[in-house]
Amino acid sequence: MRIGFFLAVLLSLRPATIAEVKVQDHVLGESANQFFSEGHEGDAVRACASGDFKSVNQPNKKAGKEYCTKLSESRQSLTVNGNGKYKADPSRDSNKTITYIFVAGKFVAAEITFVFPDPTNSYHGKSFDEIIAGLKGAYGLPVSETTVSLQSTYGAPYQARRKLWLSDTYAIEAAEQPTQSGATGWTSVNVSTKELYDKLKANGGPQPANPLNK
């Protein structure tokens, strides 16, 4: 059976079977070798290997060489060591960041952050409500909806929304960070295997991360 996992513009998560989730070009659970052989990363690896720096979508040749060096280092580290993070090329969408997480040589989670629309990005970002509407359209209602009370760095109280979707094979967590004191807000969407989600929760898992701070 196929399910709608197709928030194409919002989340870049593609239609997939219930046991298969895609983030951009990559299937949750695939090996690091496969990850760096397919999709955007695979194309970039091949372009870098041939010295075709224009094809890696960087502003100039120097930036292209630097990108290729970092990509090669990430590929080597994750295919050999098996554990770590890889931050996707931000040139594909300046209002979104994706950090892929690998454990034991497999892609097991992704942290996706969407910047809220505001004057600094010409209102091209995505709001929390837009993202949640897309997820609800694909999955129906989440299994959990909560509002948490937080405090800004200046001590001002505010509230933020959290949503959770679960299946037998994966988990999707959406967390809102409202705009505070002139700082642009953002939404994090964390996708993981159900196995990893259960382990993190059993160990008092981490709070939703903001890849923009990495």
Q: Rounded to whole angstroms, what are the CA distances from 206 to 137, 143, 183, 185, 197?
A: 28, 19, 23, 20, 10
pLDDT band (50, 70, 90) for residue 90: confident
Answer for the pair 24, 10: CB distance below 8 angstroms, yes or no. no
Residues 6+ apart with CB under 8 A from 46: none
% the chain with pLDDT above 70: 84
| 103 phi/psi in degrees, rounded to 5 | -135, 130
Long-range contact pairs involving 90-93 (C-beta distance under 8 Å, separation at least 24):
91/57, 91/58, 92/40, 92/57
Q: Characterize the bridge pairing of strands 2-3 and 186-193.
A: unpaired
- Is pLDDT above 60 for 84? yes
Domain locations along the chain: 2-213
- Is pLDDT above 90 for 208? no
pTM (two decimals): 0.81
- Is pLDDT above 90 for 59? no
CA 133 to chain centre: 18
What integer pLDDT is reported at residue 55 of this predicted model? 83
Residue 66, token pair as written in the block? 């630097």
What integer pLDDT is reported at residue 183 of this predicted model? 79
C-alpha span between 56 and 46 (Å, rounded): 10
Q: Which of 31-35, 54-58, 125-129, 202-206 has the highest mean pLDDT?
A: 31-35
pLDDT band (50, 70, 90) for residue 89: confident
Answer for the pair 150, 158: CB distance below 8 angstroms, yes or no. yes
What integer pLDDT is reported at residue 139 of this predicted model? 65
- Is pLDDT above 70 for 16? no
> Which of 175, 171, 166, 173 has the alpha carbon at shortest distance from 196?
171
pLDDT band (50, 70, 90) for residue 41: very high
C-alpha span between 124 and 203 (Å, rounded): 37
> Which of 125, 69, 122 has the alpha carbon at shortest distance from 96?
125
